[in-house]
Structure 1
Amino acid sequence: MAGDQNLRVTYGALEQTAADIERAAKELQAELDKIWGAVKRVSESWEGEAHQAFQAAERQWNTRASHIQSTLHEVSAKIRAGSSDYRATDRKAAGFFQ
């Protein structure tokens, strides 16, 4: 395959990849929710500087986690759009032979 200069697109594989990415994003969010639930229970007893430091770290974490989630959703959407574009181009090319 290393010397192969052709691009092969399988519509089903593109759709499956997009679905896999969406599923991974949901699973990641579920795990993060579990972790943060446990951390929140512990952090509720913190006061003063420890509590403030935790809140700052939590904001950073949430920002990064949100970025990861949105990136995963964007990638999935772009794969689906690419699949749709490939199909449209394939249909158009097929029309030249009719």
Structure 2
Amino acid sequence: DLISMGANIFIADPHRVIVTGPTKLRAEKLFCKDIRAGISIILAALVARGTSVIENVEVVERGYEKIVERFQGLGAEIRRKESLNG
């Protein structure tokens, strides 16, 4: 997901990646696969140019109570959009 946002990442092997920066990230439609990856893409989306949409953010919210409100309290432009399914 970070690569699709413009990050310069090279996967060296299953245990190592090489990240070259700084790089200007761009907004993307993203999907949280797990809590650690999810918080990483939320942070990346906050610094990316444009508006990102992050799906399946519930996996992050299970581990970080009131994550949206906490980021808003720090001045982040972030909001929760209710699912079309419910």
Considering fraction of residues, name the structure with more helix: 1
TM-score, normalised on structure 2?
0.22
TM-score, normalised on structure 1?
0.21
Considering fraction of residues, name the structure with more strand: 2
Structure ID, larger Rg:
1
